[in-house]
Structure 1
């Protein structure tokens, strides 16, 4: 299988006119050659923080604050999740997973509510999908054992010491929300020595220094933070101190489109388009230990755009165009390792 066009290769996304040769689901070679193709080929996105069970209640809860919307155990989302049947959850999550794939996402990390049953529901929703999902169970050690790790709601909700120790002993990922509504839970989250933190909207200078010293990655979700009224994360400061990935957070509040998340982040911060694209692809892949990136030997997880679409035709800088302008309608195809060769 060959794909020709402008290829955003390597860690710097240097545009190469040429061809990607794919064999057995992996990138065999990247060849520089003249081509008439108008395609733009980039790594598939890694959505590093989602709650897609909330797809059962899109745009519910208008006017509610963060606690009223999502705080366990009685925030709106938790009440709606408890009321939904297994079949309803699977169907709604399956449609969201399909939308993510259509929009160029090749992998995602889900904080899955509902304990073991919640993990089983998303496994059923993923049964027909080639997307690589890292599912972090919540609410019990048993949910962690049934999934790829534990996704803690936040240190103000519980101390999570037992869950952290069990996750460490199992050799699995431990992520935790921190600094979303204020800074009060950040130090307690740090004390758990997490593998990564989510949000960090209210990180101060001392927190940033500690992140850098410990090497803890952070996943930011700027659109969600704006919708819930908690403010915007200090993305520029965070990227200066640690690895930062992008997530779309709660499917109840925001479409899980990485195009929208990139554009929002790029236009509301001083972070370069190249760095935002890294946040949406390579950085999340590093966090989840998934090989994403256009390099020989990597799995073929690719998003192929129509560079001659009405939206992208005439773009002078392909990386800026991908980050600040492109959208789901510009996606010509998505290539993922578990799929056949007709995806591009």
Structure 2
């Protein structure tokens, strides 16, 4: 496979004209050359935090607080998930996975409700999907053992010591929500020495310094935090101290579009388009332990090709800003994801 156009190469996303040569699922070569193509070739996105089981209830719960929406065990989403027919649940996830792929996502990190059965359901939904997934089971150690790790709710909901020990012993990923509603659960979450944190909306200086000292990455979800009214994560301050990745959070609150998440983040915060693109690609890959997120020789070919001559992108003077602040699903020409 040969992809031609403007290539956003390496961690700096250096725009070069040329071609990407893909062999056996890997990037075999990046060749600088004059080519007859307006395409933009960049890494496929890594969505660092999703709850796609919520696909059965998009735009449900208007006017409810965050606790009423998602708090376990009786928040709206948990009640809806318990009531849903398994085939309905799987079909909803299949459709969200299809949308994610068509909108440029190559990999994602899922916090999967429902214990063992929840993990089985998303595995069924992923059966025919090209997406790479990191599925974190919730609620039980058994779900973690079936999945790629454990995804904990806030440390005020439970202590999670047993789950953390079991996940560490299994050599799997442990992520935990922290600082979404207030700051009270951040120190207990950090005490668990997680592999990554999610949200950190209410992080104070002490928490930021602890994150910096421990080098724990953070997945932020600015659109979700806006919708639920909990505030803005301190993206600039977090980015000065650790690796920050972008996630879209609950599907019933927001579409799982990394284009929308990037644009919102780029326009809400004083961060460069280049930094936002890192948050949407290589930072999420590193948070999840995946070898993707960059266009570099020797990397797996997880790539996104955009039509730089679309009515939306034609005339763009800066391809990085165009990808982050302007591009949308309609501009996607091709998504390349290596076979697992």
The answer, yes or no, to whether TM exceeds 0.5 is yes
Q: Considering only aligned residues, what root-mean-square deviation do their CA atoms show, in Å? A: 0.7
The alignment status of 1:194 with 2:194, answered yes or no, reads: yes
1:159-308 equivalences in 2 (<5 Å):
159-292=159-292, 293-308=294-309
* Separation (CA, whole Å) in 2 of partners of 1:262 and 1:123: 28
Q: Deviations over 1:27-62 (max 9, x none)?
A: 000000001100000000000000000000000000
* Separation (CA, whole Å) in 2 of partners of 1:113 and 1:48: 16
Q: Deviations over 1:292-341 (max 9, x none)?
A: 110011111001000000000000000001000000111011011129xx
* Separation (CA, whole Å) in 2 of partners of 1:327 and 1:158: 39
Runs of at least 5 residues in structure 1 that lack an aligned partner in the other structure = 340-344
Structure 2 partner of 1:311: 312
Where has structure 1 moved over 2 Å in runs of 4 or more? none
1:114-193 equivalences in 2 (<5 Å):
114-193=114-193
Structure 1 partner of 2:17: 17
SS at match of 1:241: coil
* Separation (CA, whole Å) in 2 of partners of 1:205 and 1:288: 26
SS at match of 2:111: strand
Aligned length: 339
Q: How far 1:126 moved relative to its partner?
A: 0.2
* Separation (CA, whole Å) in 1 of partners of 2:281 and 2:305: 14
Structure 1 partner of 2:87: 87
* Separation (CA, whole Å) in 2 of partners of 1:313 and 1:226: 31
* Separation (CA, whole Å) in 1 of partners of 2:302 and 2:239: 25
* Separation (CA, whole Å) in 1 of partners of 2:3 and 2:137: 37
Q: How far 1:86 moved relative to its partner?
A: 1.3
SS at match of 1:16: strand
* Separation (CA, whole Å) in 2 of partners of 1:13 and 1:90: 36
* Separation (CA, whole Å) in 1 of partners of 2:85 and 2:150: 23
SS at match of 1:139: coil
Which deviates the most, 69-78 or 285-294?
285-294
* Separation (CA, whole Å) in 1 of partners of 2:85 and 2:106: 27
Structure 1 partner of 2:109: 109
Structure 2 partner of 1:342: none
The alignment status of 1:49 with 2:52, answered yes or no, reads: no
Structure 2 partner of 1:330: 331
Structure 2 partner of 1:26: 26
Q: How far 1:253 moved relative to its partner?
A: 0.2
* Separation (CA, whole Å) in 1 of partners of 2:318 and 2:209: 34
TM-score, normalised to structure 2, is: 0.99
SS at match of 1:128: coil
TM-score, normalised to structure 1, is: 0.98
* Separation (CA, whole Å) in 2 of partners of 1:161 and 1:175: 13
Q: Deviations over 1:243-286 (max 9, x none)?
A: 00000000010000000000000000001000000000000001
